[in-house]
Structure formats: structure tokens, C-alpha cells
Amino acid sequence: MSTPPTQSRRQFLQKAALGGALAGTVSLPILANTDKLEFPDNLPEWMRAPGGEFGNYGQPSKHEQQVIRWISANPAAPGNGVSWTPLHDLQGTITPNGLHYERHHNGVPQIDPEQHVLLIDGLVDKPLSFDVKSLMRYPMVSRTCFIECGGNSNSGWRSNPIQSQAGYAHGLVSNAEWTGIPLKLLLKEAGIKTSAKWVIAEGADAAALNISIPLEKLLDDALLALYQNGERLRPENGYPMRLVLPGWEGILNVKWVRQLRLTDEPIMSRDETSQYTELLPDGTARQFTFINEAKSLITSPSLGMMLPDNPGIYQISGLAWSGRGKITRVEISADGGDSWVDAELQGPVLDKAFTRFSLPWHWQGEYAILQSRATDETGYVQPTREALVENRGKHGFFHYNAIVSWEITEEGDINHVYGF
Amino acid sequence: MSMVSKFIATALLLSLSSYNYADTEHQALGKPAEALTQQAQWNLSIAPDGKALPKGKGVAAQGKKIFALKCAACHGPEGIGASADPLMGEVGSLTSDYPEKTVNSYWPYATTLFDYIRRAMPINAPFSLTPDEVYALSAYILSQDAIIAEDFELNEKTLPQVTMPNREGFTAFYPEK
């Protein structure tokens, strides 16, 4: 807001009174003689009157209201759908809790923690139930990792490149610090029979989502998470408890988890047969493809932005992650993959977590195609779209992790194109 | 060292050593739950062997009526082409340029159909169908592509014996080779 060059004492008093948080009880500032004020003219109004009230729970600035999850749900069943993290509007590596992506199969249950228990049964020595209060007394660990939906980026399988902002095409992935109980503690308390190989996890939502998870993963690095980025889980992220399986596709990270049944065989539920399996050109399908392979994405500049200065220096910035470990390298190309240079990785580079990469770019008005290409510690290199489609056909639908290409026109506009 | 500082040092040592370290990492707080495992609401998952199926029976003609009433609004009158996932038709389409992953063309086990309908359908009223209704709906869906005959009774014994067209269509990628 612009401030008039001169301001009367009366106007100042009115503004101060209006801006006061405790209207009616606030005492007005003692005013100096206007003639002698050192900064009468150009100070912004928020420096000349008390600011707003304290808040019990903080909210983003009203100037950032466009930074939202984009919801894509079935109008006939609004609880069945997804919401996308606006990766193109975020920086750093931690996804704020209010912007973590969602996939719900039948809405967000509002669970009373007093009534929720976790049952561990099946091939165990003694079935056990755990209530929330008891679980809060267990030793907890924290780890930062991404969770990515197996269906993330699936628009990439379409024959024409979708013109959506980066997060609204690739934002079914988010990264948070999860705190909870190593699942092996709870499983061992129940006593694992040697014949147990799988665990059927079930959620307490209105889809009673059930899915088979290899016991081996739960005994490795899986958590029963109770906290997300330091606060208790949000309802949409599994309150009061969820599974977190670092690096493994989202559907396995069962929210609102109520039961873990140890078995010798997978249950062959809907979400491990009909869904989250990948059809190949020969008509067979890949099943139990649990791990999210290495992937990267330039989040800035990206579609929906433009390059205002020609020539100008722009900070290319993006995210890379791998379900198999740490990201070791991200390369950037400005010519559609003909030549590559290494981007800088922002530390600390964590296992199975978002890694921010960046590289300054001097754009001189030329037509360009920006790409990023991730490599993880196993040596796996993110494939081109051409290679992915060659390998998996056009109907895989899940686990799309190809290089993303942003076309920069000579006018500085940005489009999504398929690589060359 | 003066008497006073010796006294303070001893007091500090005593106060430190009075801490009782836990001799195990945590207290086992799980409650015995044998009784819960006997209850139906903790036995929802049905494996391909069908052992967890509830008693009941149904045929396609009964299922057709329920389908029209409770399913067709989202799945379409023909069970395909509407807002919800396709159920019927397109058997044999998986190698075509336009594959359709319907229940009948893609799902490897009929037990999954019962498991999923019972826990999640209809989407506005999960757990509202009786076992007989779920058997009848399953029979109707399967009969539409002649996976079972029109008059075939589905029950807890016959359902696991149904062989789906795409039974051999999946390759397990776990454990990784």
C-alpha cells in the first residue's frame, strides 16, 4: 500500500487505533511533533501500527493462498481421489503438513484415538493389541523420507504431454520427518513364527484398505508413525497412526492402520492385483513392484512460470529422490539431453529422501529444453521417457519415473514437452 | 580438597548414581488379544484359498437386481464406461492397443471380488451388504463374461474354485531376482 507523502496527526491516530490488536483497550502511541518525525512518509503501514493477534495455530500469509494442494476426486464419490503437493511453489526439502499429498479411497476418517487399537495377529506366538496411550510410551525414532504414490506422474504415459504445473503432474510425492516406533519392536513383542513371510495391513477407513507387505521390510526400516514433522499426524495422513515404509510406494504406507496380520502368502487384495500392477505389452503384468526408482524434476523454472529477463540469470532448482537409497548425482541439460552438467546437491543428502539440487543458468534468449537426470547410490540412472516406454510399453500406468522436459521458448514461456 | 567441596562431590556422585537405568529398552505394553482374533470384524481379509469366506450363497439373477439398485449409478448399467472402475467385459483386451482392466479381464482371483465388495462397496455404505448379497453380486459380475454359468451358485465352497481368465497373468517382482 502506498503512503501519502504527508500525513496529519489525526490520520495517524485513526490508523493506529484501527490497527490495534486490542481495539478499545489499546493505549495510543505517544506521538512526537509531526514536524520533527524522522520517518513520516515512507514507512510501510505495518511498521506504524501494532500487528495482528497471536494465533493458536499458525497459518500461511494471505498473500500465499494460491499455494494449495490441487484436488482431483471423483465427483460421484468425492472421498475417492488424490490431492497433489504444489512442488512448483515450494523450496527446501520438507513438505509442510498441510500440503502433503493425499490419496484416499473413501474419505478421511475422523478417528477417536481412545477407540483405536492396533492388532498384531496371525503367525505370531501371542496376538497383541496396542492402544494409542501405550504406544506413546515406546521408544521412538525419527527419519526423514519421501512417500510417493505408485500412480504419481502417470500422465506421462499419455501420448501427448500434459500441460500441468510441476506439482500438479508429479506431486503425488512429499517428504516429511516421520516419528514413531520401529515396527520390529512391536512384531517381536508378539513373537514372529518362522513361517511368517508377509504382513496383511488393514486401515480403519471406510475402504478398510488391505494390502500385503513383505515381513522383511517391516523388520528392516519401517515405522509405526505417530508424528509428522514434529506434530501428531493429520487425519488425512493417518491419525492416529500409520505405516511408513521408506522408499516403498505410497499404498503400502497404510494410513489409519488397525491390523497387521502375519501370513505365509500375500492376500491378493484389490490394491495389489487390480491396482498398482503394471500391464506390459505382452498382456502380463508386473506385480509387487514396491520400490520407487530414482527420479528427479526441475521445479523452477517450470510450467506456469516464465523467464522475465532476456538475457538473465536463473536458478535452476528441483528435487531428486530414490527408493533405493541416496541420490549421488543430478545432471542438468539445457539442450534436451545432448549435453549434461552436474547440479549442486544441497546437503545433507539423506537416504530415501528428497534431495534439493540447484544450478545457476545464464539464459540468453535461446530456445532450450531443460531436463534433470538423477543417479542413485546403486548406480541406477533415471531413464528417458523413450527408454521407459520402450521397456514397459504404453499402458504401465504405475511407477512412471522418466526424465521431465520443460521447453523454454525464445519469449521465455515454458511448456511441457516429451524429450528428444 | 576442602571438607565442603568433598561433601558436594560425594553428594553429586550419589545423586547421579541413583538413576535407575532400564535394563531393557522398553516395557512390553501389548495386551493379549486372542479374543479379538476370533471376531468377524478382525477377519475381513480373504485369501485365494477362501478359508475366511463367510457362509452364504447367491446367484446371478439375485445379483442383477442388487447391481441395478446399488452399483449401476457409478459403474454404469453394463458395469463399464462410467465414473467408477470397469467391472465387466473386455476379456482378452490386455494385449490390444486399448486394454481395459476390468474385474473379468484382469483380476486373477475371484476371492478378491468378494473381499473388496464386502469391505468397500457400495462406496456410500460400506459393510451394508449381507454375505448372500455379496455372493449374488459376485455371481452376476462373473456370469456376464461367462466365467461362471448364469445359474451357478456362488458360496463359500464354490467361490475359491472359480478360475479367472487372467489367473496366470501376473509376474511377481518381489522378492527381487
pLDDT in tens, B88-132: 999 999 999 999 999 999 999 999 999 999 999 999 999 999 999
B38 falls within a domain? no
SS3 call for B142:
helix
pLDDT beyond 60 at B77: yes
Q: Say whether residue A270 is in contact with chain B using an 8 A CB cutoff.
A: yes
- What ipTM was predicted for this assembly? 0.90
Tell if the CB–CB gap between B33 and A128 is shorter than 8 Å. Answer: yes
At A7 the pLDDT is 44
Q: Are A250 and A149 in contact (CB under 8 A)?
A: yes
Taking contacts as CB-CB distances below 8 angstroms, the residues of chain B near A198 are none
At A200 the pLDDT is 98
Q: Global pTM? A: 0.90
- Count of Cβ atoms closer than 10 Å to residue B49 Cβ: 11
Tell if the CB–CB gap between B95 and A283 is shorter than 8 Å. Answer: yes
Q: Is B33 left (phi over 0), alpha (psi -120 to 50) or beta?
A: alpha
Q: How far is B132 from chain A (nearest CA, A)?
A: 20
At B17 the pLDDT is 73
| Beta strand pairing call for A414-417 and A231-232 | unpaired
B9 falls within a domain? no
Domains of chain A: 9-47 (no CATH), 75-286 (3.90.420.10), 295-417 (2.60.40.650)
In this prediction, residue B1 has a pLDDT band, given cuts at 50, 70 and 90, of: low
Of B33, B172, B175, which has the smallest distance from its Cβ to A119's Cβ?
B33
Rounded to whole angstroms, the Cα distance separating A168 from B63 reads 40
CATH value at residue B62: 1.10.760.10
Q: A-B interface: how many C-beta pairs under 8 angstroms? A: 153
Query: Which residues of chain A fall short of a pLDDT of 70?
Result: 1-36, 39-40, 420
In this prediction, residue B25 has a pLDDT band, given cuts at 50, 70 and 90, of: confident
At B7 the pLDDT is 64
Q: Are A375 and A131 in contact (CB under 8 A)?
A: no
Tell if the CB–CB gap between A273 and B112 is shorter than 8 Å. Answer: yes
Q: Containing domain of residue B152, as a range?
A: 54-161
Q: Which three cell numbers stand for residue A413?
A: 514461456
Q: Say whether residue B37 is in contact with chain A using an 8 A CB cutoff.
A: yes
SS3 call for A332:
strand
Which pLDDT tens digit goes with each residue over A149-160?
A: 999 999 999 999
B175 falls within a domain? no
Q: Say whether residue B39 is in contact with chain A using an 8 A CB cutoff.
A: no
Tell if the CB–CB gap between B173 and A288 is shorter than 8 Å. Answer: yes
Q: Which three cell numbers stand for residue A324?
A: 533405493
Q: Which of A154, A267, A282 would best serve as a mutation to test chain B binding (most B beta carbons within 10 A)?
A: A267
Domain total in chain B: 1
Give contacts of B 49-88 with A, CB under 8 A: 73-74, 83-85
Average pLDDT in chain B: 93
Q: Which of B171, B176, B177 would best serve as a mutation to test chain A binding (most A beta carbons within 10 A)?
A: B171
At B12 the pLDDT is 61
pLDDT beyond 50 at B165: yes
At B16 the pLDDT is 63
Give contacts of B 87-146 with A, CB under 8 A: 94-95, 99, 101, 103, 106-109, 111-112, 115-116, 119-120, 123-124, 126-127
B177 falls within a domain? no
B27 falls within a domain? no
